Amino acid sequence: MVVLVCFLSHVRLSVKKLGWILRTAVVSYSLVFSAQSLHGQTCKEMAYGHENQIDPSPIELRQVRGKVLDPSGTAMPQVCVGIFTEPEHKLIRYAQTDETELFALDMTGLPDGEYRFVGQVPHFCPANALIRSKSRSHHKTTLVVHMNVRGTDSCSYVERARNKKRII
C-alpha cells in the first residue's frame, strides 16, 4: 500500500484520482481478506449487528431475496444474511450468497410481524433493515444490500430494488 502511494505521488495524479485509487485498493483488499476470513465460519454463527444511524420504515414483504453489492456496485459472494426476531434479536433464518451471488431466505412458518434483516461480512459495516412479514402480502420485493467498509462515511444499508425487473 505504501509503495502504491509513493508511486502515485511521483506520477502526480490529481487528489481526486488518488483518492479513488486508494479507496479501490482498500475495498479490494477487504474483499479478498473477507473471503479468506469466512473460510471455516458458517452463517449459523452470525451475531446481530446494527450500526445504522437512521432506521427507515419497515420493508413489507413475503419473501426475503436479493443480492449484495460492494461499494463499487459489484455483486459480492460469501455474504451471510439472516433474519432476527424483533426486539430480542435472536437469529431464526440464515443463508449465504450463492455462486450466482444472490440470496433467498425461507420465511415459511414464520408468523406475520416485524423482524430484522442483517447482512454481514468481516471488515464491513453490517447492513440492517426492519422488515415486516405478511404472508398475504402481494409485495414481491427484491432487496439490494449495499455493503460498505468499516470506517467510511456511510454504513452498509438495505433498500428495495429500484427497477421492476426481477433480480432472482
Task: Please give the pLDDT value at position 163.
Answer: 64
Residues pairing with 84 in the sheet: 91, 116
φ, ψ dihedrals at 30, nearest 5°: -65, -40
The predicted-structure confidence for 92-127, as pLDDT tens digits, reads as follows 999 999 888 899 998 888 899 999 999 999 889 999
For the ranges 50-59, 83-92, 144-153, the maximum mean pLDDT occurs at 83-92
Supply the pTM of this predicted model. 0.71
Q: C-alpha cell of 83? A: 433474519
Q: To which CATH superfamily is domain 43-160 assigned?
A: Carboxypeptidase-like, regulatory domain (2.60.40.1120)
φ, ψ dihedrals at 79, nearest 5°: -100, 130
Reply yes or no: is the peptide bond before residue 87 cis, omega within 30 of 0.
yes
The predicted-structure confidence for 55-69, as pLDDT tens digits, reads as follows 888 988 878 899 999
Domains in the chain: boundaries: 2-36, 43-160
Task: Please give the pLDDT value at position 138.
Answer: 67
SS3 string, 120-142, reads ECCCECCEEEEEEECCCCCCCCC
Residues pairing with 124 in the sheet: 149
Amino acid in position 37: S
The predicted-structure confidence for 21-49, as pLDDT tens digits, reads as follows 445 444 444 444 444 344 445 899 899 99
